[in-house]
Amino acid sequence: MTRVLLTGFEPFDGESANPSWQAVRAAAAEPPAGVEFFAAELPCVYGAARVALRDAIEEVRPEIVVCVGQAGGRPDITVERLAVNVDDARIPDVSGAQPVDEVIVPGGPAAYFSTLPIKACVAAVRAAGLPASVSNTAGTFVCNHVFYALAHLIATELPGIRGGFVHVPYAPEQVLHRAQPSLPVASVAQALREIAVTAATVRTDIRVAEGATH
């Protein structure tokens, strides 16, 4: 059994729910064969989210970590390629903090690549009949903050773990009064199962074009 830690976030920016945590809970309730799921909810707070992530990793001792966050406005499941070493908040986090142009890890590299087979994960989600793509930016809000913190832990202290970040669209109930794309939480949970199984079974990523022109 491969031990997989899934993390999602608490609601932020005035929302009453966060589909990342809803989907993580749903996925963990019905793990696929061969995978043991553990779920942790992270605060949408700079700094505190890093601490909560590390605590969860120390408690679970996973082989794979998949952090998940909401990306309102995106139409599909996006598997992130890069985490960058900067916090630059367009909106405040839940605590009211709004860092601008601050490094996450002083002296750390400018960026880290995901250690998940990102293109194989995207292919698996599509094969399950769900929309997915590779993303080359996780933004500069708390999602990227957590992604970079995870990647730095893997690079410096926990080389036996593989991990990365997945962004998910709004849930349908969040877009009743605004014209934004959405996906049902159950569909997102299924995508997370596909990603976890792929991460557990694929060591060398597939070589297909999933880049972007801008």
Q: Catalytic positions, please?
A: 80, 143, 167
Separation between Cα atoms, residue 57 and residue 195, nearest integer Å: 19
Separation between Cα atoms, residue 204 and residue 131, nearest integer Å: 22
Q: Name the residue among 3, 128, 143, 20 with its Cα closest to residue 84.
A: 143
Residues 6+ away with beta carbon under 8 Å from 69: 8, 9, 20, 138, 142, 143, 146, 165, 166, 167, 168
Q: Name the residue among 208, 20, 6, 26 with its Cα closest to residue 123.
A: 208
Q: What is the DSSP letter of 31?
A: P
